């Protein structure tokens, strides 16, 4: 679970840990995949990001900051590798009903804060893991063969 907290309360160790687990791990995967995708004549990379890049949540920097770096990595791959038939995109989930919000993100958020966050979803509900999966399936399909370097929000309209 990613720790939540105000920037002033986070430690350098918190910051380093989440970048190591999130951003550096993603780079290592992309680094290993690019030669294979180039050799096979193309393919699609999709990373899961966060809707917080469009509309930050208080205390959410440890989730959002590494995803910002990952989105930049994928945009760079999109620009550099499109000539090899490689597409790179991201999906930005909002609040997804997948257990993360149980007891306020592992007890790190008050019930009041959770209710306030959920009330900002224009569609009036949390998303499902299937909603996110459908966006990923689309981006990896032939129907998205001319799409690269973008981030698709799957957030019920939260970024509006």
pLDDT tens track for 117-134? 788 899 988 999 999 999
Quote the CA–CA distance of 99 and 43 in Å, as a whole number.
Answer: 32
pLDDT of residue 120: 87
pLDDT of residue 104: 47
Domains of the chain: 7-154 (3.40.50.720)
Instruction: Say whether pTM exceeds 0.85.
Output: yes
Query: Quick one: average pLDDT of 2-7?
Result: 83
Among left, alpha and beta (phi > 0; psi -120 to 50; other), residue 104 is left
Better-predicted residue by pLDDT, 85 or 114: 85
On the question of pLDDT at 149 being above 70, the answer is yes
Give the number of C-alpha atoms closer than 13 A to the C-alpha of residue 7, restricted to the C-beta side: 6
Bridge partners, 153 (sequence order): 92
């Amino acid at each position: 679970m990613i720790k939540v907290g105000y920037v002033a309360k986070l430690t350098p160790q918190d910051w380093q840990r989440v970048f190591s687990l999130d951003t550096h791990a993603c780079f290592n995967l992309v680094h290993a995949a690019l030669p294979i995708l180039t050799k096979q004549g193309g393919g699609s990379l999709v990373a899961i990001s966060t809707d917080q890049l469009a509309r930050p949540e208080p205390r959410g920097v440890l989730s959002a900051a590494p995803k910002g770096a990952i989105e930049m990595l994928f945009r760079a791959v999109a620009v550099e590798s499109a000539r090899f038939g490689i597409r790179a995109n991201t999906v930005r989930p909002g609040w997804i009903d997948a257990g993360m919000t149980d007891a306020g993100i592992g007890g790190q958020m008050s019930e009041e804060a959770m209710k306030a966050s959920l009330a900002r979803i224009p569609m009036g509900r949390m998303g499902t893991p299937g909603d996110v999966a459908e966006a990923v399936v689309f981006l990896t399909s032939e129907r998205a063969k001319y799409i690269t370097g973008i981030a698709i929000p799957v957030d019920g309209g939260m970024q509006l």
